[in-house]
Structure 1
Amino acid sequence: MSIQRIHSGPRMSDIVINGNNVHLSGMTAAKREGRSVADQTSDILKRIDELLADAGTSKEHLIQVNIWLSDITTFNEMNEVWDAWVLPGHTPARATVEARLALPDIKVEIQVLAALPG
């Protein structure tokens, strides 16, 4: 089975396709300083839509999502944005935990596993 890497860099690839599985690396918001959890979540979900399209799939085909929050008390704020974005009837398996993230201004990180359609 071949492995396809899209948007690859020296450390990681944004997208790895293995068979019918599309793996996205952990995504954080590009603009973070002074931005709320809701703003960061919205930016990340927009980027996820773009990357899934680059891979030939969409959020309709989500399988699993992992979400890390720097402060679990922002869970409801993140979920307001998530709930408006995710497609009813196509919700993935999901875990959300609090974690110390790579940089102090990162409030949210989201990692996705999706399937290719068909």
Structure 2
Amino acid sequence: MSEIKRVETGPRMSQAVVHNGIVYLAGQVGKPGESVTEQTREVLAQVDRLLAECGSDKTRILTAQVWIADMADFAEMNAVWDAWVPAGHTPARATGESKLATPDYKVEVIVVAAQN
């Protein structure tokens, strides 16, 4: 049986799970009430931190799901994303509009990555 590693495990969920060389991150959100730009920056910094802790990095992201509370903020979120994601290493990605856990959250990102 292959090992399952859980990172920052709480009573409801883990922030990351690693299995068979694949890193699965929980949905990452920024500080409630901040702008879309600030929340996106915070989310991507959390993604960087968690991937590093799991032996991966943003060049190894396979897929990303981006949820935004209002598609009117799509360009603002993308401006931060485009500056963050390395050229030549863009993952398969989907973006959708959704009500998030509270109205103060504007962006949530879920990624799956390969370990280094």
Under TM normalisation by the shorter chain, which class is it?
over 0.9
Matches within 5 A, 1:90-109: 90-109=89-108
Give the structure 1 partner of residue 77 of structure 2. Answer: 78
SS in structure 1 at match of 2:64: strand
SS in structure 1 at match of 2:50: helix
**Following the alignment from structure 1 to structure 2, what is the Cα–Cα distance between the partners of residues 46 and 54?**
12
SS in structure 2 at match of 1:89: coil
Give the structure 2 partner of residue 57 of structure 1. Answer: 56
Q: Which amino acid aligns with 1:44?
A: V
**Following the alignment from structure 2 to structure 1, what is the Cα–Cα distance between the partners of residues 80 and 43?**
10
State the shift of 1:32 in Å: 2.1
Q: Which amino acid aligns with 1:106?
A: Y
**Following the alignment from structure 1 to structure 2, what is the Cα–Cα distance between the partners of residues 20 and 2?**
10
- The two structures have a TM-score, normalised by structure 2, of 0.97
Matches within 5 A, 1:1-118: 1-29=2-30, 31-33=31-33, 35-117=34-116
Count of aligned residue pairs for this structure pair: 115
**Following the alignment from structure 1 to structure 2, what is the Cα–Cα distance between the partners of residues 10 and 113?**
22
User: What root-mean-square deviation, in Å, do the aligned CA atoms of Structure 1 and Structure 2 show?
Assistant: 0.6
Gaps of 5+ in 2: none
SS in structure 1 at match of 2:112: strand
**Following the alignment from structure 1 to structure 2, what is the Cα–Cα distance between the partners of residues 18 and 73?**
36
- The two structures have a TM-score, normalised by structure 1, of 0.95
**Following the alignment from structure 1 to structure 2, what is the Cα–Cα distance between the partners of residues 38 and 65?**
18
**Following the alignment from structure 2 to structure 1, what is the Cα–Cα distance between the partners of residues 75 and 49?**
25
State the shift of 1:17 in Å: 0.2
**Following the alignment from structure 1 to structure 2, what is the Cα–Cα distance between the partners of residues 49 and 27?**
11
**Following the alignment from structure 2 to structure 1, what is the Cα–Cα distance between the partners of residues 11 and 32?**
23
